[in-house]
Structure 1
């Protein structure tokens, strides 16, 4: 990989390259299931850490697969990465709903706050990477795996769907669709395959940072289920809930999710 001054471009290149590594591992090794997922996490993490150390040596990194020494709390630039988002899905050969997340958090000039300034979500099995580069939202069904009708779609976790999933779908006259990784669900909204993604419980900063960065760059609504802002590079990285949706649906969805 070559040095680039553009952080969004770098995020995209890193996520794409890590995804290619993961596809090769899945195709060439005899590993399956959890063993494949563990090997993928390790190799992708090692690659991303090495490239960030080489290309952005002054930046800190928060990774799902590395110990957090909290040095990042004093840093002005922090990369937040998930080497394999959807490890379970990655370990199943015919699943495409897994991702690689690379996001950048930067401190504001006043030094008191910060936010996501660049990010990328690679969906390697679909051969596509979404970045915070301002590309317009793709037409519905551009990469849809399931044909859709006219009803709005709310994507949720297949293993841990929120208790309010059906109520959210009813509020917007839609239907619920289960899908794998957070990145896959968020990008389904970005490309128009779905209209909203809601989640409650069991996520951390690396699960949503890159998806939220990309979704925000596309003009989508992103918040916690109570409507408050999603904050990153916090001491406690547990960030269990979120709403990503088309802006016109936010009010109706939050009216439900605020109740828990």
Structure 2
């Protein structure tokens, strides 16, 4: 019970921090913020990312100085590996969309304890949406409980996935799939699975802890899961923060997608 209260207090803390960071980022939205390119020009980062990250860092580290820290916008401090509990943050998940004026970007903040997320929030200020959960409670969107969509075998499967990934599936199975429009923010895409707007998503190799941790917990508490090809759930705060190909959805959707992945 003590642990339960602890994670609820952490959830309250990260919700407040995410709202503050979201308001900071919103001040840059649509204002053509300065942009730099990292990862050999493959990934943009804007002045808004840095400003939102600074707010998260100042609020969260002041409140929990003993927690480790992992953020997309800070150099990796491997001291986090010796910490039982770590903040895992992405100040703007979906920066490319943010720069282009898309509204479905979000601030992603998770508390990870011994490799598993125990509190998570996704705040999408341009949409007025907040998704959040603690390990012992329901997944909520703007205060209302959410759950993954129910899916029957003969239903069309609405998924977010690249054509390249879908084309690896059997032709007959592909006829049952309907691909949704690309969602630049991976975290927001997982939130769409959690609240039942889409049935599932495939995640290409090399996503990172900060893209996933908060959304993973929200999806789990909504009755779904995010798994590796062998069906196992993810472990966070390892030395490497990158992940292999992943699958997300409700139980029946996961089983269906994994069968196809293994048949290829």
Please indicate, yes or no, whether the TM-score normalized by the shorter chain is above 0.5: yes
Which residue of the partner structure matches residue 194 of structure 2?
190
Q: CA deviation at 1:138?
A: 6.0
Classify the secondary structure of the residue corresponding to 1:129. Answer: strand
Quote the Cα distance in structure 2 between the aligned partners of 1:66 and 1:25: 20
Quote the Cα distance in structure 1 between the aligned partners of 2:29 and 2:219: 28
Number of residues paired by the alignment? Answer: 236
Quote the Cα distance in structure 2 between the aligned partners of 1:235 and 1:172: 40
Deviates most, 44-53 or 33-42: 33-42
Quote the Cα distance in structure 2 between the aligned partners of 1:197 and 1:30: 30
Matches within 5 A, 1:47-196: 47-93=55-101, 95-107=102-114, 114-132=115-133, 133-134=137-138, 135=140, 136-137=145-146, 151-156=156-161, 161=162, 163-166=164-167, 167=169, 170=173, 173-177=176-180, 178-196=182-200
Classify the secondary structure of the residue corresponding to 1:25. Answer: coil
Quote the Cα distance in structure 2 between the aligned partners of 1:221 and 1:139: 10
Quote the Cα distance in structure 2 between the aligned partners of 1:139 and 1:82: 24
Which residue of the partner structure matches residue 215 of structure 1?
219
Quote the Cα distance in structure 2 between the aligned partners of 1:225 and 1:25: 38
Q: State whether residues 166 and 174 of structure 2, in contact with CA within 8 Å, keep that contact through their aligned partners in structure 1.
A: no
Displacement over 4 Å in runs of 4+ = 32-37
Quote the Cα distance in structure 2 between the aligned partners of 1:173 and 1:13: 41
Could you tell me which runs of 5 or more consecutive residues in structure 2 were left unpaired when the two chains were aligned.
Answer: 1-6, 38-43, 150-154
Quote the Cα distance in structure 1 between the aligned partners of 2:77 and 2:16: 26
Quote the Cα distance in structure 1 between the aligned partners of 2:224 and 2:132: 14
Quote the Cα distance in structure 2 between the aligned partners of 1:230 and 1:15: 23
2:85 corresponds to 1:41 = no
Could you tell me which runs of 5 or more consecutive residues in structure 1 were left unpaired when the two chains were aligned.
Answer: 108-113, 141-149
Quote the Cα distance in structure 1 between the aligned partners of 2:245 and 2:21: 26
Which residue of the partner structure matches residue 10 of structure 2?
7
Q: CA deviation at 1:63?
A: 0.5
Q: State whether residues 152 and 172 of structure 1, in contact with CA within 8 Å, keep that contact through their aligned partners in structure 2.
A: no
TM, length-normalised to structure 1 = 0.82
Aligned with residue 22 of structure 2, among 19, 31, 38 = 19
Q: CA deviation at 1:207?
A: 1.0
Shift of the 229–66 alpha-carbon distance from structure 1 to 2, 3 Å rule, reads same
Shift of the 190–232 alpha-carbon distance from structure 1 to 2, 3 Å rule, reads same
